Amino acid sequence: MERPADRGASGVSLARSDRDRASEVLSPDALALLEDLHRRFEPRRRALLERRAERQAAFDAGELPDFPEETKDVREGAWQVPPAPADLADRRVEITGPVERKMMINALNSGARAFMADFEDACSPTWANLIDGQANVADAVRRTISLTTPEKEYRLNDRVATLLVRPRGWHLVERHATIDGEPMSASLFDAGLFIFHNARELTARGSGPYLYLAKLEGRQEAALWHDVLSACEEALGLDRGTVRVTVLIETILATFEMDEILWALGEHATGLNAGRWDYIFSVIKKFRSRPEFVLPDRAQVTMTVPFMRAYAHRLVDVCHRHGAHAIGGMAAFIPNRRKPEVTEHALGKVREDKEREAGDGFDGTWVAHPDLVPVATAIFDETLGDRPNQLERRGGDAAIPAADLLDVPATGGTVTEAGVRTNVSVGVRYVASWLTGTGAAAIDDLMEDAATAEISRSQVWQWIHHGKRMDDGRTVTAELARAILEEETQRLRDTLGEAGFTEARIPEARELFERVALSPEFIEFLTIPASEAID
């Protein structure tokens, strides 16, 4: 699977690729940067992952997180992040999507202020997707990205969204690229290639290399990113602070270190985002041993429940005290022209969500579909008017206590058979989509990605592990989950036919979902075993 020429040129060993742009994306100079980043920062990455495991053991033993006493001066300080670049000053609506060519063009043309091209939860990391994705991003930066199909030609409009890129998190490796026989960090692979190929071009065009950073659990992980980005700038002869980042606050531990994360990123910091789906997954994962942290059906865990409200208020307040953008959460609904009544009901929920975010002081929000851009834009236009943001606003009480962030028991709600069945059905179908190379899947009028699949499988595990009783009096057991899994799998077989069932990789998806949902021990990330099953 290795290509000796690449190994000889840089020390990086690569899987074979038949992609047209592979030699350009994986040029000797680009690989040399990746090798340097790996050798300098891989030991720190591994040490931070070991620290994650140590903290998890402490939580399993009964400990709960709190604000670090040693960084109190950072939380109470009057410091500010650098002002946002001009093309990131107004972020009232951002659209997200995978690095697939047609979807990128549509997103850039959507009318949103910004577009996050996603190598993480919305991308199945096949080698083909990663190489094509880097090529697509490079073409988008240079405004040459296009696509011709039998039905339509896709080209960029004169005015397009500002581009941001989300690399994969610190916990993942890129097994197609190895150095000294070990796979390199997926974070360094994704970010390194993006910055190498596009930073100079973006700055020449009056923009810059902008990133979203995922799955951080604290200030030390942010400090590692700071040093990595500074090393990239130094290697490419860029001014310090050219690379600007927004951090997704999508782990419960990061909530207790939001100030510290911005501080650690220094000149690279621009804002924080309320990554709501992964945040819910993180709450389940970190406190999996505690029965009081068992959540109800996924649909009942909204942004209005107490622990999520505390999280949102604190995020806005932290950002605005330090001059950083606060970006709201995802609207994952996909309008369906064949179901006007379903669409209208869902749009009402989207409007309610975005009105709450704008009223809470968020500077912008996320949507997953171009048809939602006008809906969200109208709401933020009403709040912001001609202002690019509302940095002068506060998100609530600056002294939100740890107890409020951890008040999961106040969520209330119930577990239902429909909730179990939805988690099983969505989980299996999403994993099948991932295995066949699609990381952003339209399922039941929602855009599902790895984050919602993680909630689905972790909730099933949590309910079984704690013997949760459903609203009909039955207990969620492994036997019940397997019975529902069998029924939902058979439903897919009946719908797809035997050939389609196999081609869609449903049998493998079922096995993988069952493994992560019914394992005696909690498996940290679904995406790790899933990545081992793709090319």
Catalytically active residues are 166, 449
Read off the amino acid at residue 453: A
Instruction: DSSP for 375-413, please give it.
Output: HHHHHHHHHHTT-S--TT---S-TT--HHHHT-GGGG--
DSSP state of 333: B
Read off the amino acid at residue 66: D
CB-based burial of residue 75 (10 Å sphere; 0-12 exposed, 13-18 middle, 19+ buried)? Answer: middle
Contact, 277 vs 383, CB < 8 A?
A: no
Alpha helix (H) residue ranges in 205-271:
219-236, 252-255, 258-265
Residues 6+ apart with CB under 8 A from 413: 295, 296, 297, 300, 301
Q: Which two tokens stand for residue 205?
A: 């065009």
Of residues 395, 401, 236, the one with CA closest to residue 321: 395
The whole-angstrom separation of Cα 104 and Cα 95 is: 10
CA angle 245–268–96, rounded 5-degree value: 10
Q: Note the residue count of the chain.
A: 535
Total Cβ atoms within 10 A of residue 386:
6
Cα 368 from chain centre: 12
